[in-house]
Chain A
Amino acid sequence: MSVAAPASIPGVLDAWTDRPDATLVAGGTDIMVDVNFARRRPSSVIALHNVGELRERSVGDVGVTIGAGVTYTELQDRELATAVPALAQAARTVGSPQIRNAGTIGGNIGTASPAGDTLPVLVALDAVVDVQGVGGTREVPIDELFTGPKRTALAAHEVITAVRVPPCRGPQEFLKVGTRNAMIIATVSVALVLDRDARTVRVGLGAVGPVALRAVEAERFAEATIDWDDPVRSADATLLTGFADRVADAARPIDDHRSTAGYRRHAVQILARRALQRACSHG
Chain B
Amino acid sequence: MADPLSYRIRVNGQSHDVCDAWIGESLLFVLRERLGLSGAKNACEQGECGSCSVFVDGQLVCSCLVLAATVPGAEVVTIEGLTAGGGTALTDVQQAFLDEGAVQCGFCTPGLVMTVHDLLERDTLPSELAVREALAGNLCRCTGYGRILAAVARAASGRAGTNRDSAR
The answer to whether A and B come from one shared complex is: yes
A28 within 8 A of B: yes
A102 and B66 form a contact (CB under 8 A): yes
- 1/0 per residue A92-106: CB within 8 Å of B? 000111110110000
Cα of A233 to Cα of B104 in the assembled complex, Å: 55
Among B5, B47, B64, the residue within 8 A (CB) of A96 is B47
- Classify the secondary structure of A's interface with B: loop
A134 within 8 A of B: no
Contacts A3-B23, A32-B67, A43-B23; is A101 near B46 (CB within 8 Å)?
Answer: no
Contacts A36-B46, A99-B137; is A44 near B118 (CB within 8 Å)?
Answer: no
| Among B55-63, B95-103, B150-158, the stretch in contact with A | B55-63
- 1/0 per residue B27-60: CB within 8 Å of A? 0000000000000000001111010010000011
B9 within 8 A of A: no
A95 and B137 form a contact (CB under 8 A): yes
- 1/0 per residue A251-273: CB within 8 Å of B? 00000000000000000000000
Distance in Å from the Cβ of B9 to the closest Cβ of chain A?
A: 12
Distance in Å from the Cβ of A34 to the closest Cβ of chain B?
A: 10
Residues of A with C-beta under 8 A to B59: 101-102
- 1/0 per residue A36-54: CB within 8 Å of B? 1100011111010110000
A29 and B2 form a contact (CB under 8 A): no
B24 and A2 form a contact (CB under 8 A): no
B148 within 8 A of A: no
Cα of A27 to Cα of B64 in the assembled complex, Å: 12
Tell me the count of chain B residues lying within 8 A, CB to CB, of chain A.
Answer: 33
B115 within 8 A of A: yes
Among A35, A50, A99, A183, the residue within 8 A (CB) of B67 is A35
Residues of B with C-beta under 8 A to A28: 65-67, 70
Residues of A with C-beta under 8 A to B50: 96, 98
Query: Taking beta carbons and an 8 Å cutoff, which residues of B are in contact with A?
Result: 1-3, 5, 7, 23-24, 26, 45-48, 50, 53, 59-62, 64-67, 69-70, 72-73, 115, 118, 133-134, 136-138
22 A-B pairs within 8 Å (CB atoms) are namely A2-B5, A3-B23, A3-B69, A3-B70, A25-B70, A28-B65, A28-B70, A32-B65, A32-B66, A44-B23, A47-B67, A95-B137, A96-B47, A97-B60, A97-B115, A98-B62, A98-B115, A99-B47, A99-B65, A102-B61, A102-B65, A183-B137
Sample of 16 further A-B pairs with CB below 8 A, known A95-B47, A98-B60, A102-B59? A25-B67, A28-B66, A28-B67, A29-B47, A29-B65, A31-B67, A33-B47, A35-B26, A36-B46, A37-B45, A42-B23, A96-B62, A96-B138, A97-B60, A182-B136, A183-B136
